[in-house]
Amino acid sequence: MLGVAIAAAMLLDMVMLATGMRESFRELLLSRGFELRLAPKGTLPFDTDATIPGVSAITEVLRRNPDIREISPVMGASIHIPSGNRDVSGSALGVDPSVQGDYELLSGRDVTTADAIVVNDYLLNQLHARVGDTLNAATGYDPQTRTYSGQQKLVITGRVSFIYGATEQSAAAMRRETLEGMSGKDKRDRASLFMVRVRKGADAERVRDWIETQLPNVTAISIATALAQVDARLSYFRQLAIILGAVSLFVGFLLVTTLVTVSVNERAGEIAVMRAIGISKAHVVQQIVIEGVGISFAGAILGLGLGLVTARYLNTILSAFPGLPMAIDFFLFQPRSAWSALALLIASGIAAGVYPAWRAASLPIAETLRREAIA
Amino acid sequence: MSGTIVSLHAARRDYALGAERVHALRGVTLEVARGDYVAIVGPSGCGKSTLLNLIGVIDQPTSGTVEIAGKRVDAMSDREATSFRLHNIGFVFQRFYLMPILSALENVALPMAEAKVARETRQSKAADLLEYVGLGDRQRHRPSELSGGEQQRVAIARALANGPLLLLADEPTGELDASTGAQIISLFRRLNDDGTTIVVVTHDEDLASAARRKIHMRDGRVVGA
């Protein structure tokens, strides 16, 4: 039974793994309600250092489409902050706080003034700083001469959690104009990314097509496009999950077949007597198959608990991969996954029971009883 | 007694045992009348159980004919034979082979459920049968909670569930001590007195002596009746 439970747990984990990361990514993309992202032509958001010039002009163009509700240009840059005699570096986002979709404020206040900065807990710990402290932040640092460029005094006004941030990643956000000012002339009126909300009921794909027609220097990525790209990148995980899931199902099938075979062999006399007193072959098979399903079901229930514990443990390990957003889960529990695993196990229980059951029910009655009597 | 219920004519049964051919029955001709109580006796391996299996329609003769209540049963399909056994034959074996997860009442009701007898009718009839075999107070007990003698009495009640034409028993006292065996012998006697036709295969002299008629077998042949 433990073997069946382990196979069931592995099957559940593999079903969760096959769909979990994609679903988790979808939830992440949808979490702030931005259906479209605009990146420099041919790139993914923040995939390269490339930026989109002409933020004001692009915003003007986008506002012309009545299906577009909100536009949030985001500037990305590196940030360097001296702390004691060392340099603490991280990533910084320049945002419009009224429409930003990159972080959640945990405490304090948002970047309502030009000298405000909000930081995540990891950066706060690196700096041994607190909300209210003033930082001397810079966008450039030369480690040879230990000199900073684009430096500005900023006050930490709040603690935030970055939605797309990795576990051990120092990150901060400030107003976009502040970051532009620190980054120099080259980065004026530029954005690394635009996030776009469409009106309720509008077709995001149509808006995406419209944007690409109007703005040839950007790539517009809808949730569906992003998921297709994620699918392509995660195909290895999915294939691995499908193979391991199939192996677990097969192992479960073999275990149930073995258990049912051992059980019917032990009860060959009992089965022969059932047949002798007039119980039909079909009913004997049905009874044995029910036992197989019962074993699978009990294994599945045990396996569900075991699978969830294992999935949580493995998720903790895999989520610690550098550069992965904290909100991404490799193993995402969805009732559909549990039902799928249960349905597969019950189907395999039925399949596993049919052959030994049919064999047992087809044994010659007289011969079996004679053998049993001798035994 | 009126009429013949079992009729075998020149019944042979051969088995392949590895490369050898075993002649378990070598042309048995036999009749059992309705209401009779017959004990088949003889040394081990003489073909007693094989003969009982042919009468019980759980085996078929290599040649010859077997008729039960005027119906040829020697060439029935598996489905026909199963249905025939369900409605016409009651079996009692040396080992009781009760369903361990079912109560005594449920074990007795099992053949009736297969025969699609209504739930209430089978519950009530199973209770009556258990009462008849002296286990009216043990209906809810599982086989593991019953003694060997009690389990055999449940098996007898199960064999009677669908009102069979014929009750067949293969060494029914073989696993019981003398006093429990005596109770089963007495129960068989009572059943026969109440009109049940019984054919029993046994080594038990007491059980054989309780029968109205003894058939002696040796080397696959009937040598005396």
A240 in the same domain as A130: no
The listed range with the strongest mean pLDDT (A59-73, A216-230, A248-262, A345-359) is A59-73
Does residue A161 belong to any structural domain of this protein?
A: yes
B81 to chain A, closest Cα gap in Å: 8
A69 in the same domain as A104: yes
A316 in the same domain as A171: no
Closest-CA residue of chain A to B93:
A273
Q: Which of A277, A288, A371 to mutate to test the interface with B (most CBs of B within 10 A)?
A: A277
With an 8 Å Cβ cutoff, are A276 and B95 in contact? no
pLDDT in tens, A287-299: 888 888 888 888 8
- In A, which residues are within 8 Å of B110 by CB distance? 277, 279
- In B, which residues are within 8 Å of A281 by CB distance? 78, 82
A118 in the same domain as A263: no
- Over 90: is that where the pLDDT of B112 sits? yes
- What average pLDDT does chain A have? 86
Mean pLDDT within B51-76: 93
Residue whose tokens read 């992202």: A37
Angle, CA B174 vertex, CA B171 and CA B177 arms, to 5°: 145
Mean pLDDT within A326-345: 79
Residue whose tokens read 């012309």: A64
Nearest residue, CB atoms, B82 vs list A273, A275, A364? A275
Considering only CB atoms, which residues of chain B are within 8 Å of chain A?
A: 49-50, 53, 56, 58-59, 78-79, 82-83, 85-87, 89-91, 93-95, 97, 99, 110-111, 114-115, 158-159, 162, 170
A111 in the same domain as A165: yes
The whole-angstrom separation of Cα A30 and Cα A93 is 20
A252 to chain B, closest Cα gap in Å: 25
A173 in the same domain as A65: yes
A288 in the same domain as A260: yes
With an 8 Å Cβ cutoff, are B79 and A365 in contact? no
Does residue A185 belong to any structural domain of this protein?
A: yes
- Over 50: is that where the pLDDT of B146 sits? yes
pLDDT in tens, B176-224: 888 889 989 999 999 999 899 999 999 988 999 999 999 999 999 998 7
pLDDT in tens, A134-187: 999 999 888 888 888 888 999 999 999 988 777 778 999 999 999 988 987 777
Choose one of A187, A216, A245: the last residue of a domain: A216
Return the pLDDT at B2: 57
- In B, which residues are within 8 Å of A273 by CB distance? 91, 93, 97
Percentage of residues in chain A with pLDDT exceeding 90? Answer: 28
Does residue A228 belong to any structural domain of this protein?
A: no
pLDDT in tens, A267-278: 888 889 999 999
B224 to chain A, closest Cα gap in Å: 25
Return the pLDDT at A45: 67
Model confidence pTM above 0.80: no
- Amino acid occupying residue B223: V
A179 in the same domain as A66: yes
> Which residue segments constitute the domains of chain B, with CATH numbers given?
38-58+77-224 (3.40.50.300)
With an 8 Å Cβ cutoff, are B95 and A370 in contact? no
Return the pLDDT at B1: 46
A242 in the same domain as A188: no
How many residues appear in chain A? 375
A104 in the same domain as A155: yes
What is the ipTM metric for this complex?
0.91
A194 in the same domain as A116: yes
Percentage of residues in chain B with pLDDT exceeding 90? Answer: 76
Q: What is the 3-state secondary structure (H, E, C) of B35-82?
A: CCEEEEECCCCCCHHHHHHHHCCCCCCCEEEEEECCEECCCCCHHHHH
A173 in the same domain as A59: yes
The domain in which residue A273 lies consists of 2-26+235-374
The whole-angstrom separation of Cα A333 and Cα A312 is 10
As for how many domains chain A has, the answer is: 2
Choose one of A183, A216, A249: the last residue of a domain: A216
- In B, which residues are within 8 Å of A363 by CB distance? none
Does residue A229 belong to any structural domain of this protein?
A: no
Of the two residues A259 and A158, the one the predictor is more confident about is A158
- In A, which residues are within 8 Å of B159 by CB distance? 277
Nearest residue, CB atoms, A273 vs list B53, B82, B93? B93
Choose one of A188, A216, A244: the last residue of a domain: A216
pLDDT in tens, A36-54: 989 888 776 666 677 888 8
pLDDT in tens, B3-39: 899 999 999 999 887 888 889 999 999 999 999 999 9
Residues B91 and B159: beta-carbon distance below 8 Å: yes
State the Cα torsion A92-A96-A101-A102 to the nearest 10°. 10
